[in-house]
């Protein structure tokens, strides 16, 4: 069976890597890696491909940036040609980026079955482009591979039939657990002069947080104040860097808030594992910190990963600087960490996905 595995942005790489590794081990599914180039930075893509031991893409579409409509349209046009030429038996999409949506539409139009890895996640916020991508992709997918029970319930509530829902666990955790040992050899802490358990790690990239100057400045000022309590290391996303550089008046400086360039996957795992606290607006990091038992504050008003809130490893803090500070100080004042891991977040998700597909495509 030929399966096109679509990646478009860096978070997709971590979800594709375990699938490719598992399919190659079994030799019953022939994976073809399709990189749409939705988010592309040559240096960062190279680092992630090397860290994750991913093969070179079989096809690189190179669509680049643009509005949501432009990007989605470009991907659909280019990917349709790939599918028509390659006659794939299955299209596997992961996550919730525009590439996920575009390629699932192409598959549905060409009557090629679509499998969505990470199906059923919902923030219930239609102002988020990712929410639209998730909902449409799930409607079009023959295989909805879910990470948790609430995702199953979301799909049932939306009318997805039971024979399309497969609870397999969290593919992100496959990569996390597989590469933990390798990440232990990273020298990122020494390079940055950090001591384990004595710093905070920050990531911010969502337009709702960084594109509005007033919102972003409020979050940033809270981080400045927090950095008086412990050092903060902040790998800055290109979108976020652009806003910082263009700000007028300029953002305040503090020697304890370290703005650094984005780092590779293995370095980031190590930095995350030994952080006292993580502040983020990322979806995947909410899950990874849960498994690593690192307290996480999510700078959003909602999350498509509510299970991380329910089990106590993650707190939604919105964008109000005072709430961010108050919750951060709670964490710093507590000596305990939550050690609750959801079912099937065990590093074996790719194997369960392969089991399902082998039964469906004997």
pTM of the model: 0.95
> In which residue are the tokens 């240096």 written?
43
Q: Which fold has domain 182-333?
A: Rossmann fold (3.40.50)
At residue 44, the pLDDT reads 63
- The CA distances from residue 130 to 69, 135, 220, 314, in Å, are 13, 9, 24, 20
Ranges 50-64, 108-122, 171-185, 262-276: which has the least confidence: 50-64
- pLDDT tens for residues 324-340? 999 999 999 987 777 88
- The CA distances from residue 62 to 17, 57, 71, 77, 205, in Å, are 20, 11, 11, 12, 22
Report residue 329 as tokens.
Answer: 């100080």
The chain-wide mean pLDDT, for the chain, equals 94
At residue 65, the pLDDT reads 84
- pLDDT tens for residues 9-56? 888 999 999 999 999 999 899 999 999 998 766 656 778 888 999 999
* 2-170+345-360 shares its CATH topology with 182-333: yes
Instruction: Using the CB atoms, write b or e for 95-129: b if 16+ within 10 Å.
Output: bbbbbbbbbbbbbbeeebbbbbbbbbbbbeeeebe
DSSP string computed for 27-63: -SSEEEEEE--SS--HHHHHHHHHHTTPPPPSEE---
- pLDDT tens for residues 281-318? 999 999 999 999 999 999 999 999 999 999 999 999 99
At residue 41, the pLDDT reads 64
At residue 40, the pLDDT reads 61
Q: With 90 as the cut, is the pLDDT of residue 184 above it?
A: yes
CATH number for the 2-170+345-360 domain, one of 3.40.50.720, 3.90.950.10, 3.40.50.2000, 3.40.50.1000? 3.40.50.2000
At residue 139, the pLDDT reads 98
Strand partners for 59: 34
- pLDDT-based confidence at residue 87 (cuts at 50, 70, 90): confident
Q: With 90 as the cut, is the pLDDT of residue 210 above it?
A: yes
205 in catalytic set: yes
Q: Are 80 and 110 in contact (CB under 8 A)?
A: yes
* Rounded mean pLDDT, 198-222: 94
* Rounded mean pLDDT, 4-8: 96
Q: Are 210 and 204 in contact (CB under 8 A)?
A: yes
Which one of the listed residues 35, 68, 205, 237 is annotated catalytic? 205
Domain locations in the chain?
2-170+345-360, 182-333
Q: Which residue has the higher pLDDT, 32 or 253?
A: 32
At residue 269, the pLDDT reads 97
């Amino acid at each position: 069976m030929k399966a096109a595995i679509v990646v478009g942005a860096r978070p997709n790489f971590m979800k594709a890597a375990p699938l490719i590794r598992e399919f190659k081990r079994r030799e019953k599914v022939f994976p073809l890696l399709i990189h749409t180039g939705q988010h592309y930075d040559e240096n960062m893509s190279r680092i992630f491909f090397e860290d994750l031991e991913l093969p070179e893409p079989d096809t690189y579409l190179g669509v680049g940036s643009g509005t949501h409509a432009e990007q989605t349209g470009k991907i659909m046009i280019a990917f349709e040609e790939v599918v028509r030429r390659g006659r794939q038996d299955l299209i596997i999409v992961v996550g919730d980026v525009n590439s996920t949506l575009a390629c699932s539409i192409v598959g549905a139009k060409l009557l090629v079955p679509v499998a969505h890895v990470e199906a059923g996640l919902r923030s219930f916020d239609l102002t988020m482009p990712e929410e639209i991508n998730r909902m449409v992709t799930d409607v079009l997918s023959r295989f909805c591979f879910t990470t948790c029970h609430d995702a199953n319930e979301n799909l049932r509530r939306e009318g997805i039939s039971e024979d399309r829902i497969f609870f397999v666990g969290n593919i992100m955790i496959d990569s996390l657990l597989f590469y933990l040992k390798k990440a232990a050899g990273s020298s990122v802490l020494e390079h940055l002069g950090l001591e384990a358990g004595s710093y905070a790690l920050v990531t911010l990239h969502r337009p709702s947080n960084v594109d509005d100057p007033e919102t972003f400045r409020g979050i940033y000022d809270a981080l400045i104040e927090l950095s008086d309590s412990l050092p903060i290391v902040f790998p800055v996303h290109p979108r976020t860097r652009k806003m910082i550089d263009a700000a007028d008046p300029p953002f305040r400086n503090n020697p304890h808030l370290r703005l650094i360039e984005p780092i590779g996957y293995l370095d980031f795992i190590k930095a995350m594992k030994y952080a006292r606290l993580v502040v983020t607006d990322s979806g995947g990091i909410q899950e990874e910190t849960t498994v690593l038992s690192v307290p996480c504050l999510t700078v959003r008003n909602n999350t498509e990963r509510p299970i991380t809130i329910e089990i106590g490893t993650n707190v939604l803090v919105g964008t109000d600087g005072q709430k961010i500070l108050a919750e951060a100080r709670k964490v710093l004042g507590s000596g305990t960490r939550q050690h609750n891991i959801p079912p099937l977040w065990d590093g074996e998700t790719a194997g369960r996905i392969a089991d399902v597909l082998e039964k469906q495509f004997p």
